[in-house]
Amino acid sequence: MAAEAQIPALGFLTVVEDAEHGLFGGYLVLNLIGRPLEFHCTTPLKANRAQQILYGPTLAPYLYGEQIAQTLIRKGAVKPRTVFTDQTAVLAARQHVDVPLVLAVDDAASQPAGDATRRIDPPQTALKRFGWGRQPLAVDVASATDEQLVLDRLSDVAQDFDLLEPFGRIREAIAEASRN
C-alpha cells in the first residue's frame, strides 16, 4: 500500500465494462473544491470461465469490490475521508479497506441503453440508505455504522458538491488512458 497522506479529500471509484477488453477500474481523488489530486486506473480485468461458473451471483462483488476497488484504493497516495461509488458491487471492497465506501445513488438516471458500466448485475445487496443534502447515499448494511462516520466527514463539504459528476470524469479518463 502506498503511503497515505492526510489531506482533505474525497475519493470516487467506478468500474467501466468494455465488451472487448473487460472491466476497467478508475479511482479519482479530489480535493474539496473538486480538483484532481490523483488518478489511478487498472488494466482490463476479465473473469475467466471458472470464475464465472463458481462465483455465480457473487462474481460482480468479487470483481468490482474485492479485485478492482480494493486494489485501487490501496494505491492511493492520499487517504480520502470517504470513497464514493456509483456501483453497488463495489461496496464489497469495504471489508478489505479502512475507509468508508458509500454508494451515491443516482435516482434520476434511468439505465441508458448501451451503458456498459452497469451490465453486471450485482446480487441483491442489503443497503442502508440515508441522505446528505439532496443526495441519496447508501452503505452496505454490514457497515451500517459508516453512515454517521460519513456524515461527520462531509460536514464541512459544500452541500452543492455534486457527488455524481466526478464519475463522468473518470469514465472519460479511462477512455483516454485506454486509447494510449
Interface with another protein (CB under 8 A): 5-8, 25, 28-43, 45-48, 50-51, 54-55, 67-68, 71-72, 75, 77-78, 156-162, 165-166, 169, 172-173, 176-177, 180
Question: In the bound complex, what is the minimum distance in angstroms from residue 94's beta carbon to another protein?
Answer: 18
Question: In the bound complex, what is the minimum distance in angstroms from residue 85's beta carbon to another protein?
Answer: 17
Cα-based angle 70, 159, 174 (whole degrees, multiple of 5): 35
Q: Which is nearer to another protein, 43 or 95 (CB)?
A: 43
CA dist., res. 92 & res. 11, Å (int): 16
CA dist., res. 132 & res. 163, Å (int): 10
CA dist., res. 179 & res. 61, Å (int): 27
- Region for residue 110 given its phi and psi (left: phi exceeds 0; alpha: psi -120 to 50; beta: otherwise): beta
Q: Which is nearer to another protein, 61 or 138 (CB)?
A: 61
Question: In the bound complex, what is the minimum distance in angstroms from residue 88's beta carbon to another protein?
Answer: 20
Question: In the bound complex, what is the minimum distance in angstroms from residue 84's beta carbon to another protein?
Answer: 15
Q: Which is nearer to another protein, 101 or 167 (CB)?
A: 167
CA dist., res. 34 & res. 6, Å (int): 17
Residues 69/93, Cβ–Cβ less than 8 Å = yes
Residues 90/64, Cβ–Cβ less than 8 Å = yes
Question: In the bound complex, what is the minimum distance in angstroms from residue 60's beta carbon to another protein?
Answer: 15
Q: Which is nearer to another protein, 45 or 151 (CB)?
A: 45
Q: Which is nearer to another protein, 94 or 153 (CB)?
A: 153
